[in-house]
Structure 1
Amino acid sequence: MPAKILIVEDEPSIADNLIYVLKNESFAVEWLSLGQQAIDLAAQQQLDLIVLDVGLPDISGFEVCKQIRKFSDVPILFLTARGDEIDRVVGLEIGGDDYVVKPFSPREVTARIKVIVRRNRLEQTPADNTPEPVQPGCLFQLNNDKRQIKYQNNLLDLTFYEYGILALLIEHPERVFSREQLMQAVWNTPEDSYDRAVDTHIKTIRAKIRTVNPHDNSLVTHRGIGYSLNVKGHTIES
């Protein structure tokens, strides 16, 4: 089945260009111009990704994201005419998966959508529980000076918060951290963030790890408690 993309954008010319390119890439596309319409549709249908304009005529795209995150983990890519860093940070912290500043290339946005959809589908694919042989070398290699993490000798492309979360878990293997503890350790202003932000970043970290090894189960969710890193049978280098 083709991935279903919802575009929430009140400028028809922008929406038309995106729709044209996405359909040429075999995506199923729906277009809405109001935030409340998007919230209602996301609650009713299974979507693969939402392209969400921040400056909508009825309610802010950020508010739309917050409402959708109450009931759905659907990936959200923000579109905005503002390039301020604080806007990008807010968008990601409330549960956004990516952020594109106008003007933009519809083909670039489509390429980002492909990556997010592929990662999300991989994340939702149940991991094979068949034990994997221990890979030669270290499972994780942490370089705090360069802010780099390698998984099975593959450099992970991590965002600021993804790196902070995974680095902390690597430094304390097997220890269970609550969402609040992760936010206090990684976020500059944790009081301005949301618990859902941690879940979103854990989700993307796990997907990036599984692009290297689809069988990986090292990042463990402890329901109602938090997260830990299971490295039994492996070694870690810091």
Structure 2
Amino acid sequence: MSDLNVRPGPVPPDPALVLIAEDESEIADILIAYLQRSGLRTRHATDGHEALTLHQMLKPDLLLLDVQMPHLDGWKILSEIRSRGDTPVIMLTALDQDIDKLMGLRLGADDYVVKPFNPAEVVARIQAVLRRTRAGGPAAKQILRVGPFQIDLDSHEASVQRDGQRQTLELTLTEFKLLACLMRAPKRVFSRAELLVNCLPEGDTQERTVDSHVSKLRKKLEALDIQGTPASVWGVGYRFGAGA
């Protein structure tokens, strides 16, 4: 009897996991069927809070996100997802105004699909985004660096280099989100409305609240002898800093 000496080959990677955040069950069922038929794994969230919980638990490869979700809308969900890292997000919505598309892209959406849609096209868009984002293998650690500042998005830590040593910044969640948002595009000026949607907790609707949080962040940095961050741009909003 011969010994075939068969060695197991490498284990193929699991199919990509797509988290579908959609409150209309008929639409979700159609998307699930098409995605599974294409070899993708799926999970379904029916409201905004569930979407964030499942995202934290499952670490999906892509989030298909409806804007008009119960309890927590898609803009708030996208903002929170972006504060956690770079999970690819495709917005799925009945809104077809250019301003809505621009809002999604400014907040970090990777693509935008308008209802009514062709499910096969949605699958094609998802596959295109996954090819682009998975081409480099496992995602690199998400770290932002601008000047002496460093933000680790994975561990949610912010620090600054002072006198040859790295010092941790004790920031509130909102202050952390503000600093991270400004550091992503340090030369860009963000309006108060953008920062309100991007960085402040659900329920805060007054743009002047942004000024209060920015002022507190600035005072913490000034205590470390860091001046002009964030920088005010009169009549527009804020940017990372005058020297960026």
With structure 1 as the length reference, what TM-score do the two structures score? Answer: 0.55
- Alpha-carbon distance in structure 2 between the residues aligned to 1:178 and 1:68: 14
Unaligned 5+ runs, structure 1: 128-176, 185-189, 198-223, 226-238
Q: Are residues 1:82 and 2:80 paired?
A: no
Tell me the distance in 2 between the aligned counterparts of 1:31 and 1:178.
30
| Shift in Å, 1:32 | 1.1
Q: Tell me which residue corresponds to 1:117.
A: 130
Task: Show the counterpart of 2:186.
Answer: 180
Aligned counterpart, 2:29: 16
Alpha-carbon deviation of 1:4? 0.2
RMSD over equivalenced CA pairs, Å: 2.5
Matched residue type, 1:74: T
Corresponding residue for residue 38 of structure 1: 51
User: Which amino acid letter does the alignment assign opposite residue 114 of structure 2?
Assistant: V
Q: 1:178 to 1:20 in 2, by over 3 A?
A: closer
Please state how far the C-alpha of 1:180 moved relative to its aligned partner. 2.1
Which digits, 9 at most, give the CA deviation of each residue in 1:108-153, with x for residues without a partner? Answer: 00000000011001245689xxxxxxxxxxxxxxxxxxxxxxxxxx
Q: Give the Å deviation of 1:44.
A: 1.8
> Contact between 2:45 and 2:54, CA under 8 Å: does it hold in 1?
no
Q: How many residues align?
A: 142
Query: Which one of the candidate residues 108, 115, 125 is aligned to 1:95?
Result: 108
The verdict on how the C-alpha distance between 1:69 and 1:14 changes in structure 2, with shifts beyond 3 A counting, is: same
Letter in 2 for 1:75: P
Distance 1:39 1:126 in 2: 20
1:72 matched residue in structure 2? 85
Tell me if 1:49 matches 2:55: no
Q: Which whole-Å deviations, capped at 9, do the CAs of 1:48-106 have from their partners, x for residues lacking one?
A: 10000000121111101111111121101011111011110111111111111100001
* Aligned equivalent of 1:235: none
User: Distance in 1 between the 2:101 and 2:186 partners?
Assistant: 22
1:177-216 CA-partner distances (Å, limit 9, x unpaired): 98221x25xxxxx32546xx9xxxxxxxxxxxxxxxxxxx
Identity percentage of aligned residues = 37
Report SS of the residue matched to 2:70: coil
Give 1:1-238 correspondences, 5 Å limit.
Answer: 1-124=14-137, 179-181=185-187, 183-184=188-189, 190-191=190-191, 192-193=193-194
Return the offset for 1:47.
0.8
Q: Distance in 1 between matches of 2:74 and 2:21?
A: 9
Kindly indicate whether structure 1 or structure 2 has the higher relative contact order, using CA contacts under 8 Å at least 6 residues apart.
1
Distance 1:72 1:12, change over 3 A: same
* 1:121 alignment partner AA: R
* Max Rg structure: 2
Q: What is the TM-score with the length of structure 2 in the denominator? A: 0.54
Equivalents in 2 of 1:19, 1:103: separation in Å?
Answer: 16
The structure 1 segments of at least 4 consecutive aligned residues displaced by more than 3 Å after TM superposition are 123-127
What secondary structure, in the 3-state scheme, does the structure 2 residue paired with 1:5 have?
strand
Alpha carbons of 1:125 and 1:55: their partners in 2 closer, same or farther (altered >3 Å)? same
Q: Which residue of 2 aligns with 1:228?
A: none
Q: SS of 2:84's equivalent?
A: coil
